[in-house]
Structure 1
Amino acid sequence: MQDGILIGEGVILDARPASFATRGLGALIDVAVTVVLLIAVSLAVTGTAARLTEQWTSSLSIAVLVVLLVGLPTAVETLTRGRSLGKLACGLRVVRDDGGPVTFRHALIRALVGFFEIWLSFGSVAVITSLANSRGKRLGDLLAGTYAVRVRGGRGWEQPLVMVPGLAAWAAAADIRRLPDGLALQVRQVLDRAPRLAPASRARLTDELAARVEGYVAPGPPPGTSAESFLHAVLHERRDRELVRGRADRERATAQAAALHRLPYAVPDPRD
């Protein structure tokens, strides 16, 4: 469970860190693209250098290196939320440790450290650090609090969550506390595999999980509710509550943004 991505309410998404081979291939593509850009820009600078002094030529060369090796990766990862050309080709994305999208700060730290661990050390520092970390983090990831996950080719849930009609009213009024990290994922995985399990194993697993989940739900389900129906109802209700909370947060943020851009009180607003 430690490899999952933790999001709100302790729900862990089943997104595993990308393999070393996939990360390496994506890095090679990015390096190749950067080298091609360096060669193209160097040729252009060479044609211009003949008309510049030696001092200006050196300054221009340093500026080109900074832009291509630090500025460009930072801008690409910020604008694409962690997907460079190599990562896009390999189906990867860089995310924060909590599963959220990377920001300018994360991308800048990765690019700055990457200049030393990838370019100056010819990738040796990045390879050693990545092999020694359980999530395959290079040094830049350790400092930025990020890592690469595979976002293409993953299997989605086969079995949808179902709310038994007789449990809808109970679930809507129940107090469902935050579940421990990983428990929601365990329940979702078992429910997804339930039709393929042997009846005895299916009953045993759902009974064990229902006993663990029931301690976080008050009041308990109506008498006679099966363990599997109870688990479906709890996850279904938690998902709906998260969706409602998310919509409310977005609407509140939109309203606050609109208020911030309005003129002060008593000053006529042309938009009105």
Structure 2
Amino acid sequence: MSELVTGEAVALELRPAKLPSRALAVLIDLVVAFTVYILVTLAVVASTSSLDEAAAAAVMVATFVLVLVGVPIAVETLSHGRSLGKLACGLRVVRDDGGPIRFRHALVRGAVGVVEILLTFGVVACIASLVSERGRRLGDVFAGTLVVRERVPAGPARFVPPPPPWLVGRFAGLDLSGVPDGLWLAIRSYLTRMGQLDPQVGQAMAERLAGDLGACTGAPAPRDVPPAAYLAAVVHERQSRDAQRAFGGVGVGGAHAGSNGLNGPNSLNDPAGPAAASPHVAPPAVTPPSVAAPPVTPSQGTGFVPPA
């Protein structure tokens, strides 16, 4: 199975669509588009019978561009890469990094598709798909997109490993609204596969993802936390917030318990680390040794590995 690889060299579980399924999806889209075009043309001819030949020709050209070019572009943009034919065949158009397409991607695919699909009856698109390793036509090459299969056989489930207990709730004050979906996808894919990577490659990849995540959140990753553990803790924090918004209760694993955000003693800039207790928030009671978080040791700082 050929996999899609992001810019961070993380393989995603997306399979590029083959030529037969893509051809069937395009055929369905063309049948629907030409049916709509014929109906609209009949209505336009009936309503513009009083115009001269030049005006009638201009109206027909505008109708052709609007129905056969503009409507498919709008459909792909609004549906994030799922046209009627692709939806029926279980396909979807995505960016090269696995993220959803935008208007500019759909515009380039539609403009190039006029030449390689409509004007050449699909011959150029078929040749380009056969030559391309991932079955991309010229529109996909120029737009930086890829058609992938959404309905694939279910494989073994991959879970994101939980962060160390002493990191749970430490990043409750981070602003995660500026993190793009593509970066979340890359982080989750790395965390589920870091046990299969070479240690040096995995460490370099974790440092790069942690740097990108720190740039998006506005708070760099703390130096006393391993990059992989930092990524797992932030993903856990996001899952906790999603669960709290969905169910209105405490997030996953009680990630916010005992956390004071970025302004408390558990903030990213506090050298005391997560084991320090806040005298302004916590009651004046001594925490039992069995409950207090263990201090960070060099072995803990580099020994974050996912569960088997």
Q: What band does the TM-score fall into relative to the shorter chain?
A: 0.5 to 0.7
Q: What is the TM-score with the length of structure 1 in the denominator?
A: 0.63
Q: Which has the higher helix share?
A: 1
How far apart are residue 153 of structure 1 and its match?
3.0
Equivalence for 1:21: 20
C-alpha spacing 1:214/1:151, structure 2 compared with 1 (3 Å)? closer
Distance (Å, rounded) in 2 between the aligned partners of 1:18 and 1:3: 11
User: In the alignment, is residue 60 of structure 1 matched against residue 53 of structure 2?
Assistant: no
Whose RCO is larger (CA < 8 A, sep 6+)? Answer: 1
Residue pair 1:161, 1:236 contacting (<8 A) in 2 also: no
1:159-212 per-residue CA deviation (whole Å, 9 max, x = no partner) reads: 534549xx5448999xxxxxxxx9x9698469xxxxxxxxxxxxxxx6x75755
Q: What is the TM-score with the length of structure 2 in the denominator?
A: 0.57
Q: CA RMSD in A?
A: 3.7
Distance (Å, rounded) in 2 between the aligned partners of 1:113 and 1:65: 16
1:120-149 per-residue CA deviation (whole Å, 9 max, x = no partner) reads: 001101110111101111111111111101
1:95-134 per-residue CA deviation (whole Å, 9 max, x = no partner) reads: 1111111111111111111111101001101110111101
Distance (Å, rounded) in 1 between the aligned partners of 2:129 and 2:84: 20
Residue pair 2:96, 2:145 contacting (<8 A) in 1 also: yes
Residue pair 2:2, 2:15 contacting (<8 A) in 1 also: no
Equivalence for 1:95: 94
Equivalence for 1:261: none
Unaligned runs of 5+ in 2: 171-185, 208-225, 242-308
Equivalence for 2:37: 38
Percentage identity across aligned positions?
Answer: 41
Distance (Å, rounded) in 1 between the aligned partners of 2:202 and 2:110: 47
Q: SS of 2:16's equivalent?
A: coil
C-alpha spacing 1:215/1:52, structure 2 compared with 1 (3 Å)? closer
Equivalence for 2:4: 4
Q: SS of 1:95's equivalent?
A: strand
Residue pair 1:187, 1:209 contacting (<8 A) in 2 also: no
How far apart are residue 5 of structure 1 and its match?
3.9
Write the mapping of 1:1-272 to structure 2, written as runs, cut at 5 A.
3-6=3-6, 10-155=9-154, 157-158=156-157, 160-163=159-162, 168-169=165-166, 188=192, 209=197, 211=199, 238-242=231-235, 244=237
Unaligned runs of 5+ in 1: 174-181, 191-205, 219-232, 249-272
Query: Which region of structure 1 is more displaced relative to structure 2, 48-57 or 65-74?
Result: 48-57
Distance (Å, rounded) in 2 between the aligned partners of 1:78 and 1:99: 15
The count of aligned residue pairs is: 207
Distance (Å, rounded) in 2 between the aligned partners of 1:149 and 1:18: 5
C-alpha spacing 1:4/1:73, structure 2 compared with 1 (3 Å)? same
C-alpha spacing 1:243/1:148, structure 2 compared with 1 (3 Å)? farther
